[in-house]
Amino acid sequence: MKNLIAPHGSSTLNPLFIEDSIQRESLISSSNDMKKLLLNSAAAANVVMLGAGYFTPLSGFMDKKNAISVANDMLTTDGLFWPIPIINLTKDSSNIKIGDEVALLDPNMDGNPVMATQQVSAIEKFSDDEIKDMAEKIFGTIDTEHPGVANFLSLGNTLVSGDIKVLNFSYFPNEFPGTFATAPEIREMLIKAGWSKAVAFQTRNPMHRAHEELCKMALERLEADGVLIHMTLGKLKKGDIPGDIRNSAIAKMVEIYFPENTVIISGFGFDMLYAGPREALLHAVFRQNCGCSHLIVGRDHAGVGDYYGPFEAQEAFELDVVKNSLKLQIFSADHTAFSKKLNKVVMMRDAKDHSKDDFVLLSGTKVREMLSNGQELPPEFARKEVAEILMKYYQSI
| Euclidean distance between CA atoms 394 and 316, whole angstroms | 36
Distance CA 83, CA 86 (A): 9
Start-to-end Cα distance in the chain: 48
Q: Are 123 and 98 in contact (CB under 8 A)?
A: yes
Phi and psi angles of residue 318, each rounded to the nearest 5 degrees, phi first: -85, -10
Q: Reply yes or no on whether 204 is catalytic.
A: yes
CA distance 280 to 297: 7
The CA distance from 231 to 246, in Å, is 9
CB atoms within 10 A of CB 139: 26
Which of 371, 374, 339 lies closest to 357 in space, CA to CA? 339
Question: In whole angstroms, what is the distance from residue 185 CA to residue 192 CA?
Answer: 10
Among candidate residues 24, 112, 157, 204, the one labeled active-site is 204
**What distance in Å separates the CA atoms of residue 4 and residue 196, rounded to the nearest whole number?**
5
Residue 228 has φ and ψ, to the nearest 5°, of: -95, 110
Residues paired with residue 101 on neighbouring β-strands, in sequence order: 119
Residues paired with 123 in a beta bridge: 160
Closest of 381, 374, 378, 365 to residue 395, by C-alpha: 374
User: 93, 96, 89, 94: which is closest to 34 by C-alpha?
Assistant: 96
> Are 271 and 234 in contact, with CB atoms under 8 Å apart?
yes
- How far apart are alpha carbons 298 and 336 in whole angstroms? 9
Task: Give the Cα separation of 52 and 174 in Å (integer).
Answer: 15
Residue among 14, 24, 205, 368 flagged as catalytic:
205
Tell me whether strands 263-268 and 226-232 are parallel, antiparallel or unpaired.
parallel
Q: How far is CA 262 from the centre of its chain?
A: 22
* Burial (CB count within 10 angstroms: exposed 0-12, middle 13-18, buried 19+), residue 69: buried
CB 50 within 8 A of CB 164: yes
Residues serving a catalytic function are: 204-205
